[in-house]
Chain A
Amino acid sequence: MSTVSQKESGAPAASPGPASTRDLSGGCGDDLERQCCGEPDQKLPGTHGVGDPAATFSGDSPFLSCRGRVIKWFWDSAEEGYRTYCMDIYDEDQNPSGIINLGVSENKLCFDLLQSRLTQSDMLRVEPALLQYPDWRGHLFLREEVAKFLSLYCKSRTALRPENVVVLNGCASVFSALATVLCEAGEVFLIPTPYYGAITQHVYLNSHVRLAYVHLDSEVTGPDARPFQLTVEKLEVALQGVISEGVTVKGLILINPQNPLGDIYSPGELQEYLEFAKRHELHVVMDEVYMLSVFDEALEYRSVLSLERLPDPQRTHVMWSTSKDFGMSGLRFGVLYTENQDVATAVASLCRYYGLSGIAQHQMAQLLRDHDWISQVYLPENHARLKAAHTYVSEELRALGIPFLSRGAGLFIWVNLRKYLPQATFKEEELLWRRFLDGKVLLSSGKAFQCKEPGWFRIVFTDKAHRLRLGMQRFRQVLEGRPHFRT
């Protein structure tokens, strides 16, 4: 049930990478030694100080420290799929045989709306204060807007407070900073799998914090359960498992709406998980970056900030950003909301490293304060487009007889391609992933999300209709064994 990840796959959403294909639940001692004897490019980091990691990472970088080689490994192997894509991006006119990206979770459906909003005159003001060293927590004008915005859109019971807000350059940084200030190096957060794999890298790179998995199964076990259902029992077992290995667990990471499942937690479930965390004095890091991307009106999404009573408010930390809900991951804007002033202050103390441009801060404040535009223009249109794209891909999948989780939130669909694997192994999963890439469509395979069962893939459906259609066409061709492109 529980496995402290001995290595850090760091594989971002788009790629299993060579390392991710290995099972890394080894303990210490012999296992490590055995791993160290592996092929250099398959050696996994996360075991510094043991044996001679430098030897395994030597190769082409004699100017780096041992640690530097491990860090470089993240870059070299983990981003493989994404970089292949970057070198060969599909373009209708310029590169029609380029790769279609259905792997990276980005919302490209509403660029027209955002472009017109972001070029309105209120966005273009540049004031001296924006050019100078900021308040490291984020400019007050922005924190005030964030507090108001979250109060409104998270439906909080009471008004949220600007002093509980810290602004950083993206949620990756929020993860990194929280890991630094909440954990010592080597301590762990629990996280239910499958999960957005890049978190591994976020908490590890600077902070050397690791993730311990709460593995969930696709099999449905009860009348009220759904596939990959998280239960308190599973959390308990995982926690005890990690503790029995002598590792300190500092917190629990929950993603809601969940990435890659698209599930949303009910208020009852949320409350249970939070109570569990409280019992064990665990911090809860709530990643709510998809909170406004719930496009099925029948679903009632509840932010943790909307709960009547938080079991342990001082240990509950919420993050949100405009990356997903407003389709602007390139803007690098992430916020932390925590009532714990020590945590807020400590995170803010790191803001020299996680600072966001004053100009971007001004623009975010202008955007977030425009509730009329958000509620009347952007959100309805975004939801309609999300729904249309989701419906299109769902129908394609049904036509192919592919099982998938049909959810009404997020930018992606979690599909089961097990029947296309000759054997149910991650090796075969990777081969299929490569066949997709060779067929010029980039997907994310389950291994990148630390899914326990081989054969799951995440399809991101938030691309423009013509690209999405072409992407799905290539997807079908690869599965039917007649890829359009040959390498």
Chain B
Amino acid sequence: MGWQERIDQAVITPVPGQAWTLGSGRVPSGVEHALSLSLSAGSSWPAEANTNTWRMSHRPDTPTVPRGQTRSQSLREQRVCSDLLEMIRHLQQSLKEHFTQLTTWQMQGLLSLEQRHSGAICKQEDLLDDLMCKMVNLLGSEAVSGLGLRPPLPVLDSQAANRGVRRVSSPQQADQPVPQQRDSEATLVSHDLSSRGIEISVSYHLDFQDYEAYQRDKYHKVKNTLGFINLGTSENKLCTYLLTERLCRSDMNRMENILLQYPDWRGQPFLRKEVACFLTDYCQAPSPLDPENVVILNGCYSIFSALAMVLCDPGEAFLVPTPFFGGFIFSSNLYARVELIPVHLESEVSENTHPFQLTVNKLEQALVEARLKQKKVKGLMLVNPRNCLGDVCSRDSLQEYLEFAKRNRLHVIVDESYMLSVFDGSATFHSVLSLTSLPDPNRTHVIWGTSKDFGISGLRLGALYTHSKGVASAVCSFGCLHGTSGITQYKLYRLLQDREWIDKVYLPTNRSRLQDAYKYITDELKALEVPFLKGGSGLSVWVSLKSYLEPCTFDGELALHRRFLDNKLVLSRGKSFRCEEPGWFRLTFAEKPSELQVGEWCWPPNPGLLTDTALSLHA
């Protein structure tokens, strides 16, 4: 039996008579079922259910539901949802790989009949088969029927049909605690979007639902005291007024015709020169950096995505030590289809190590394992200072990692976005650009931006520094798609040029405010007896809430995350950084003191809202 037929069967057999109405409508029938099942299930309800669990308890206009029922119900939903989601993602990935491989073989003329049945394909088909069956079983099971999310009958309303859109609504049942807005928010599975369009919408929604909830309902000390406090997004809001004041000064307002005309797509020459100069000084480069090696795009996401495009072919991979910023996954997957293979680090320390320490041994091991799985590893991604952990890499370790990469002919992308946010006097940051001899300069690429160090993520500036002219000019091709405004480039040029203000005003103030905020938050954590990693850089602290998890799994972590959300506090959980141990959270402290305090006040979740649970942060 061919794999398509098997997928067909897997989908259809266990739920006879219940056709899934979702479909992209342009893939072969069997695949259509598989894809539409995975993609639209992903788009429609797991995400919905996730948001609804917490949303419903707090929308004042939402009818209340019996609490006990909600809690157990929602826990069950969460479990099923996260299982399913995991499977769907896995399935999606497997399908993608499968297709890529088939296409490649086909194009290379390798796909003769015998090979179709060769080992690799059969193995992939079995994997797909297995996954599909598991999902179908789960969907057909009690668990799902309890969610009120059974495969719906085709509900084609005429208006939607006219628009080429099918409305997938879930039949609402009286005994189910499904919030009223469910109906109006019934997910539209659009025929207008391509499968990747749907995927993009879905993963964006999954990644950003908390953030969007926060955007809709922000805390304000007067206007909205019950709004969300966001300690989940890594933004530095401590010096916003310093920056607005600086950016308003008259030197910022020069208007020249070149700023309005098509730019040099690599970035305006004056800005590239200034960035080279700035990095030379603040990275303590042994010799002046070359403006020709600088490429400016609209943010580090764009730089990373472009690098993944030009360094890898689809299906190839980077090694990335965990925990790492989850946004990289979306970026590498979006266009480039580059896999990020985690190098798992542990919190436990042995002799001479610190928590989550990266060693060459671990890198070697991860590389070997990846290669055993036939992965083509093209590079290593390092973040220094580390985004969530808040530590910096020693010069020796840095050198070792680079040597490792050189030995294995791997590119190294070093994200140094937090290099000026080192606030602990005893920690010294070493930029990769400060090394006197880079082991493999043409394969070493540094990313920096003004977003974190100057707290101006809204200005969209990301810079790449690479010694490889080939890489630089390939990345330049993306300038027309990811360019940044000429006027903004001019302002950032003035900002970076004003060393006196940076050295005498901004950096000292920023450092001392980061120190204060860090001290405040860590004192609070100590008082709560919450373990955390001692950091000295970055905008956040990495805390272990393991003891509050019940059970101590990622489900438990998700449940705790939700409880924070119920209490209007957004945090980032370890899972989204691909941390292997459940219970870690990233808490951004670079927030205005008033909001930080309210965030703290949210901390022991308001017991009134959680009467049904014995869990409390007051262990």
The answer to whether residues A357 and B485 also contact, given A184-B195, A281-B164 and a CB cut-off of 8 A, is: yes
Q: How far is the CA of A278 from the CA of B312 in the complex (A)?
A: 39
User: Which residue on B lies nearest to A104, using beta carbons?
Assistant: B262
Q: In the complex, which residues of chain B have a beta carbon less than 8 angstroms from the beta carbon of A136? A: 208
Question: Is A268 part of the binding interface, using a Cβ–Cβ cutoff of 8 Å?
Answer: no
Interchain CB contact (< 8 A) of A360 among B235, B469, B474, B487: B487
Chain A contacts with B in 142-195, Cβ cutoff 8 A:
169-170, 172-173, 176, 180-185, 187
Q: Which of B190, B255, B260, B310 has the most C-beta atoms of chain A within 10 angstroms of its own C-beta?
A: B260
Q: In the complex, which residues of chain B have a beta carbon less than 8 angstroms from the beta carbon of A119? A: 253, 255
Q: In the complex, which residues of chain A have a beta carbon less than 8 angstroms from the beta carbon of B247? A: 126, 131, 359
Q: Are A184 and B301 in contact (CB under 8 A)?
A: no
Q: In the complex, which residues of chain A have a beta carbon less than 8 angstroms from the beta carbon of B468? A: 61, 63
Q: Are B192 and A357 in contact (CB under 8 A)?
A: no
Q: Are A357 and B488 in contact (CB under 8 A)?
A: yes
Q: Are B164 and A330 in contact (CB under 8 A)?
A: no
The answer to whether residues A201 and B480 also contact, given A65-B378, A358-B458 and a CB cut-off of 8 A, is: yes
The answer to whether residues A169 and B310 also contact, given A124-B252, A360-B487 and a CB cut-off of 8 A, is: no
Q: How far is the CA of A355 from the CA of B488 in the complex (A)?
A: 12
Interchain CB contact (< 8 A) of B481 among A69, A127, A173, A349: A173
Interchain CB contact (< 8 A) of A314 among B104, B163, B257, B442: B163
Q: Which of B262, B314, B316 has the most C-beta atoms of chain A within 10 angstroms of its own C-beta?
A: B262
Question: Is A363 part of the binding interface, using a Cβ–Cβ cutoff of 8 Å?
Answer: yes
Q: Are A72 and B473 in contact (CB under 8 A)?
A: yes
User: Which residue on A lies nearest to B376, using beta carbons?
Assistant: A65
Question: Is B528 part of the binding interface, using a Cβ–Cβ cutoff of 8 Å?
Answer: no
Question: Is A115 part of the binding interface, using a Cβ–Cβ cutoff of 8 Å?
Answer: yes
Shortest C-beta distance, A124 to chain B (Å), equals 6
Q: In the complex, which residues of chain A have a beta carbon less than 8 angstroms from the beta carbon of B233? A: 133
Question: Is B541 part of the binding interface, using a Cβ–Cβ cutoff of 8 Å?
Answer: no
Question: Is A238 part of the binding interface, using a Cβ–Cβ cutoff of 8 Å?
Answer: no
Q: Are B442 and A63 in contact (CB under 8 A)?
A: yes
Shortest C-beta distance, A13 to chain B (Å), equals 10
The answer to whether residues A180 and B200 also contact, given A64-B471, A65-B313, A126-B248 and a CB cut-off of 8 A, is: yes
For this complex, into which size category does the number of interface residues on chain A fall? 35 or more
Q: How far is the CA of A333 from the CA of B237 in the complex (A)?
A: 26
The answer to whether residues A86 and B26 also contact, given A173-B481, A205-B481, A332-B483 and a CB cut-off of 8 A, is: no
User: Which residue on A lies nearest to B198, using beta carbons?
Assistant: A346
Q: Are B257 and A198 in contact (CB under 8 A)?
A: no
Q: Are B458 and A360 in contact (CB under 8 A)?
A: no
Q: How far is the CA of A358 from the CA of B471 in the complex (A)?
A: 29
Q: Are B309 and A68 in contact (CB under 8 A)?
A: yes
Q: Are B255 and A115 in contact (CB under 8 A)?
A: yes
Q: How far is the CA of A211 from the CA of B376 in the complex (A)?
A: 32
Q: Which of A106-114, A369-377, A402-410, A471-479 contacts B (4 or more CB under 8 A)?
A: A106-114
Q: In the complex, which residues of chain A have a beta carbon less than 8 angstroms from the beta carbon of B257? A: 108, 111, 115
Q: In the complex, which residues of chain B have a beta carbon less than 8 angstroms from the beta carbon of A355? A: 298-299, 460
Q: Are A349 and B204 in contact (CB under 8 A)?
A: yes
Question: Is A395 part of the binding interface, using a Cβ–Cβ cutoff of 8 Å?
Answer: no
Q: How far is the CA of A108 from the CA of B103 in the complex (A)?
A: 48
Interchain CB contact (< 8 A) of A330 among B470, B476, B478, B486: B486
Q: How far is the CA of A49 from the CA of B298 in the complex (A)?
A: 30
Q: In the complex, which residues of chain B have a beta carbon less than 8 angstroms from the beta carbon of A182? A: 192-194, 197
Question: Is A76 part of the binding interface, using a Cβ–Cβ cutoff of 8 Å?
Answer: yes
The answer to whether residues A331 and B260 also contact, given A180-B197, A198-B480 and a CB cut-off of 8 A, is: yes
Besides A71-B309, A342-B188, 13 new A-B residue pairs in contact (Cβ under 8 A), listed by A number: A49-B103, A64-B311, A68-B310, A72-B474, A118-B487, A126-B243, A131-B456, A131-B458, A169-B482, A205-B477, A250-B194, A355-B298, A356-B298
Using a CB–CB cutoff of 8 Å, the interface residues on chain B facing chain A are 26, 103-104, 107-108, 163-165, 188, 190, 192-198, 200-201, 203-205, 208, 215, 233, 235, 237, 240-241, 243-244, 247-248, 252-253, 255, 257-265, 298-299, 301-302, 305, 309-314, 316, 327, 331, 334-335, 378, 411, 442-443, 455-461, 468-471, 473-474, 476-478, 480-488, 491
Using a CB–CB cutoff of 8 Å, the interface residues on chain A facing chain B are 49-50, 60-69, 71-72, 74-76, 79, 86, 104, 106, 108, 111, 114-115, 118-119, 123-136, 169-170, 172-173, 176, 180-185, 187, 198, 201-202, 205-207, 248, 250, 281, 283, 313-315, 327-333, 340-343, 345-346, 348-350, 352-360, 363
Q: List 10 A-B contacts (CB under 8 A).
A: A68-B311, A106-B262, A126-B248, A128-B241, A130-B458, A342-B165, A343-B193, A352-B299, A352-B302, A357-B484
